[in-house]
Structure 1
Amino acid sequence: MPRDTSGPPPVLDVLILGAGISGIGCAAYLKREVPGKSWRILEMREDLGGTWDLFRYPGIRSDSDLYTFAYEFKPWESRNAIAGAAEIKAYIAETATENGIRGRIAFGRKVVACDWSSAEALWTVTTQTGADGARETWRARWIFSATGYYDYDRGFRPAFDGEEQFAGRIVHPQAWPEDLDHAGKRIAVIGSGATAVTLLPALAKDAAHVTQIQRTPTYVMPLPLEDPLAKALRPFLSKTRIHAILRRKNIWQQSLFFTLCQRYPAAMRKLIRKVNAKSLPKGFDVDTHFNPPYDPWDQRLCVVPGGDLFRTIRDGRADVVTGRIARFTATGIEMADGSHVEADIVVTATGLNLKLLGGAAYSVDGKPVTPSEHVIFKGMMLDGVPNLALSIGYTNSSWTLKVGLLCQYFCRLLAEMDRRGMDVCAPERPARAMALRPLLDFKAGYVQRSLDMLPRQGDTFPWEMTFNYSADARMMKKGRVIEPELKLSPAPSRRIAEVG
């Protein structure tokens, strides 16, 4: 979407940063809930979809069911409860088309700086575009950062001893080479998270053999590819009605399972182990390869649709090696116990890095904003930073469930500020001493590596991160819009006009 830069840029009500599932969802909610607002989306890639456009590794799919990962307002119509990237991206694109969003996306714009001026009550956003890095400026009353918290430039990639000796190819899933032919090859996949358990069955379809190498196991649970209840209801109810029923059912199931894991970890560990043992070959060493040393949901639990991971292991096309890597060799990987994994290709599914706010430099009246020095408000704003909303989803459930609620609250906030004749709002940290905690109480490696760069959370509402959908829905959809800690003011230009 080219823009005339010969004069001062127009002032928008909202600039949405990112055209992934969060950004497209925010735009749709703005159009539905506050139709008078002007907005645009800035997207650094050349197409929408975010994560689902970036990642191209074999088998990439969601690790949440699509009835809860999809938008509340748009039914998920596919029969696949767990879907691949192509289906999810098509769903996001269809949402954009149906809501007239695509034409209001500026593609190829990498946001490098966002500067707030209290004198103007405006954000000035600087973007780079094109091969020459040409700069543009955009101005808006609000920023809605829909960039998530992953680093889209590079994944986490530890160095291994002896890598230079390896005669094969080493690839990271976040930068999957288009020319990589893995057919008939021996492949070692290093990692134990969602990416690794997705890659194993996908690669095994054509590879000679695939070995998953993990230092520590992860909890893995099979889930039907097609929800049985959806199949039963399909002849009798509309797609919209089925989506609503399945969404409520799965929200309840997710909440119940998480709660049981938190309250009865030993019992849930036994249950998960029993399911795994039933799915794996007779005599398989379940406790070594699928029984983590931590409790269920201390880290995110991996879902395998149709039990494809277990089926691949049963068929002998893949196996699992658990232990510490000693070094790479010319022909594979040597483990600390002396065993050797032969490989022609090594895939380092070693995780992601976090990058808040897309890595852009933020400032307020010339003072740089350091996120780690701020406290989160209602899970979506930073104390002392005006007119900035963040989209951070659930870690214990579908990401989009929380983002959808944040978008609805954001629309309510804009409408209420208009009703009061206010232009600026910023959370103000209470004067009392407030105990601070990490933003995410989650033991996943990618979170633990990045806690020091993330905002903090406080010790009570509204300064705590919340992870209960039912309670959050009541708060965001029907609760009080303006909390006492949220300070509102008119723009200076409005005050001058009123005095005049």
Structure 2
Amino acid sequence: MTEHVDVLIVGAGISGIGAAYHLQTQRPGTTFALLDAHPAAGGTWWTHRYPGIRSDSDLFTFGYRFKPWTGTPIATGEEILKYLSEVIEENDLGRHIRYEHRVEAASWSSEDALWTVEAVRLDTGEQVRFTARFLWMCQGYYRHDQGYTPEWEGFDDFEGRVVHPQLWPDDLDLTGQRVVVIGSGATAATLIPNIADRCAHVTMLQRSPTFFFVKPNSNEVADMLRELDIPDEWVHEIVRRKIIHDQDAITKLSFDDPEALRAFLIETIRPLVPEGVDVDRHFNPPYRPWQQRIAVLPDGDLFAAMRSGQASVVTDQIERFDATGIQLASGEHLDADVVITATGFDLSVMGDVSFAVDGQAVDFADTVTYRGIMFTGVPNMAYVFGYFRASWTLRADLISDFVCRLLDHMDERVASSVVPAVPDEEADMALLPWVEPDNFNPGYLTRSMHLMPRQGDRLPWRLLHDYAEEREIIAGADLDDGRLHYS
């Protein structure tokens, strides 16, 4: 059995649900389906179950532009799932979603001008097939079924329990346990204050510090407007614009005067750190602010756990594991009953789906991206990759507008396919990595950059990381500039 649709969306997380909404709204009559390997919608917010799971971006911009957010800026995973479920229900999107469908292969036929997508139903084991005019990859950018854990000497000698937050077990009881959380990013900063009160003690063990930004989990502008009984839609849009404006200013400062931003971030947290803790050693990273993600601490909850004595921080190198804990390079030993490896995730290139075009396997590392959305040599396909320094959904919305406009343009031209191609006069342009290390360089990117598509040194072959720029550039992109080839 083969099911045919005009557009096939892979992934029913925040990107895929948004894509479905925009497609249904902007192109009524277009047939579409969403395939997701999980038994429910939500993507990251369904798979991540560790204590305290929450957003690291404000929900006024992480939420969709079309559905007002009415809660606190930083939301729990449960609140985000509820929000996404409301979008599905309010727009009757559920009938388009095929859950427990894992996509394994996608092949394009120029003769038929169709994608054929092979998937397996995880609930029955049945192989199923879909065909589509256009393929929209909204599966995210990391592997959901496993996290990244480095290899440490003696790791197998440890007699306690090791847990990765991405695969949090339901039976884990931390009551009275000595816990070491390896890592200091957003996951560790979220997890620690939510387990500290039940542990004997929890230690955040980091190789190097992370920048933290402490702020109340409230928004003064939103609170004021709500007091005035301003409609939710107005509140959402006004606050959204204010946050985007402020984020843009901070991003510019991180490039123009990074040491000023560093000083601001460090001095903000200094009064919150327990007395006697060396702020510069434990909370002043060697990299430029926003060269890696700045983790938000709503109401400074991580530092509150440290001030209570329930949590502490150690900055050191792991020499080896042993039966009772972790031996550090400094000579210190951390006794542990449970080790939680908040050490990040592994990048997934196009969902680890096997791609082919006219029988030839596609290696995305050999392609060049068109606006960070499409790829040379790969027809009728779009990919959602969000922002690092702003909310993922801001770019997902921009890409949805672009794809719908592109499909409209194809209809106007009576074109069955579109593919980016570098013209001869640009063939000698410099090719750069998907993300340049001096721009943004967290471990999950640097470990996998060789697998990702390349970008050029000029538009439209650049992947920009700036919403203020892209909302104008992508919206005004010339679809007949000679870089997109229609058939």
* TM class by smaller structure: over 0.9
Residues 69-91 of structure 1: CA deviation (Å, up to 9, x unaligned): 0101111111x101111111111
Give the secondary-structure state (helix, strand or coil) at the position aligned to 1:268: helix
Give the secondary-structure state (helix, strand or coil) at the position aligned to 2:347: coil
Matches within 5 A, 1:70-89: 70-78=63-71, 80-89=72-81
Conserved 8 A contact 1:62-1:83: yes
Matches within 5 A, 1:347-386: 347-386=340-379
**What is the match of residue 498 of structure 1?**
none
Matches within 5 A, 1:30-429: 30-78=23-71, 80-130=72-122, 133-236=125-228, 237-429=230-422
**What is the match of residue 494 of structure 1?**
none
Of 460, 468, 471, 1:470 maps to: 468
Give the secondary-structure state (helix, strand or coil) at the position aligned to 1:154: strand
Shift of residue 42, structure 1, vs aligned partner? 0.5
**What is the match of residue 432 of structure 2?**
437
Identity of aligned residues (%): 44
Of 445, 448, 460, 2:446 maps to: 448
Residues 425-467 of structure 1: CA deviation (Å, up to 9, x unaligned): 0001122301011111221000000000000000100000112
Give the secondary-structure state (helix, strand or coil) at the position aligned to 2:139: coil
Equivalent-residue separation in structure 1 for 2:280 and 2:99 (angstroms): 48
- Of stretches 156-165 and 343-352 in structure 1, the one that deviates more from structure 2 is 156-165
Residues 194-250 of structure 1: CA deviation (Å, up to 9, x unaligned): 111111111113112110000010111112211122112112111111110111011
Conserved 8 A contact 1:210-1:318: yes
Report the TM-score, using the length of structure 1 for normalisation: 0.94
Conserved 8 A contact 1:110-1:129: yes
Structure 1 residues 97 and 131: CA distance shift in structure 2, 3 A: closer
Conserved 8 A contact 1:409-1:481: no
Shift of residue 359, structure 1, vs aligned partner? 0.6
Give the partner amino acid of 1:295: R
Equivalent-residue separation in structure 2 for 1:40 and 1:205 (angstroms): 45
Give the partner amino acid of 2:435: L
Give the secondary-structure state (helix, strand or coil) at the position aligned to 1:24: helix
Equivalent-residue separation in structure 2 for 1:282 and 1:213 (angstroms): 19
Conserved 8 A contact 1:412-1:481: no
Equivalent-residue separation in structure 1 for 2:370 and 2:81 (angstroms): 31
Conserved 8 A contact 2:100-2:123: no
Conserved 8 A contact 2:138-2:383: yes
Give the secondary-structure state (helix, strand or coil) at the position aligned to 2:247: helix
Equivalent-residue separation in structure 2 for 1:205 and 1:231 (angstroms): 31
Equivalent-residue separation in structure 2 for 1:187 and 1:203 (angstroms): 9
Equivalent-residue separation in structure 1 for 2:476 and 2:261 (angstroms): 34
Residues 311-335 of structure 1: CA deviation (Å, up to 9, x unaligned): 1111111000001011222222121
Shift of residue 477, structure 1, vs aligned partner? 2.8
Conserved 8 A contact 2:37-2:122: no
Equivalent-residue separation in structure 2 for 1:130 and 1:301 (angstroms): 37
Equivalent-residue separation in structure 1 for 2:324 and 2:477 (angstroms): 61
Give the secondary-structure state (helix, strand or coil) at the position aligned to 1:159: coil
**What is the match of residue 455 of structure 2?**
457
Give the secondary-structure state (helix, strand or coil) at the position aligned to 1:234: helix
Shift of residue 479, structure 1, vs aligned partner? 4.0
Equivalent-residue separation in structure 2 for 1:130 and 1:303 (angstroms): 36
Conserved 8 A contact 1:81-1:224: no
Equivalent-residue separation in structure 2 for 1:130 and 1:354 (angstroms): 22
Structure 1 residues 367 and 479: CA distance shift in structure 2, 3 A: closer
**What is the match of residue 497 of structure 1?**
none
Equivalent-residue separation in structure 2 for 1:276 and 1:341 (angstroms): 26
Equivalent-residue separation in structure 2 for 1:63 and 1:185 (angstroms): 27
Structure 1: give runs of 5+ residues left out of the alignment: 490-500
Conserved 8 A contact 1:64-1:82: yes
Report the TM-score, using the length of structure 2 for normalisation: 0.97
Give the partner amino acid of 2:189: V
Conserved 8 A contact 2:206-2:314: yes
**What is the match of residue 5 of structure 2?**
12
Shift of residue 482, structure 1, vs aligned partner? 3.5
Shift of residue 61, structure 1, vs aligned partner? 1.0
Shift of residue 14, structure 1, vs aligned partner? 0.2
Shift of residue 131, structure 1, vs aligned partner? 5.4
Conserved 8 A contact 1:63-1:303: yes
Give the partner amino acid of 1:456: R
1:485 matched to 2:477? The reply is no
- Of stretches 17-26 and 395-404 in structure 1, the one that deviates more from structure 2 is 395-404
Give the secondary-structure state (helix, strand or coil) at the position aligned to 1:113: strand
Shift of residue 471, structure 1, vs aligned partner? 2.1
Structure 2: give runs of 5+ residues left out of the alignment: none
Give the secondary-structure state (helix, strand or coil) at the position aligned to 2:45: helix
Residues 176-201 of structure 1: CA deviation (Å, up to 9, x unaligned): 11100112211100012111111111
Give the partner amino acid of 2:248: S
Conserved 8 A contact 2:423-2:482: no
Equivalent-residue separation in structure 2 for 1:23 and 1:390 (angstroms): 10
Equivalent-residue separation in structure 1 for 2:63 and 2:97 (angstroms): 21
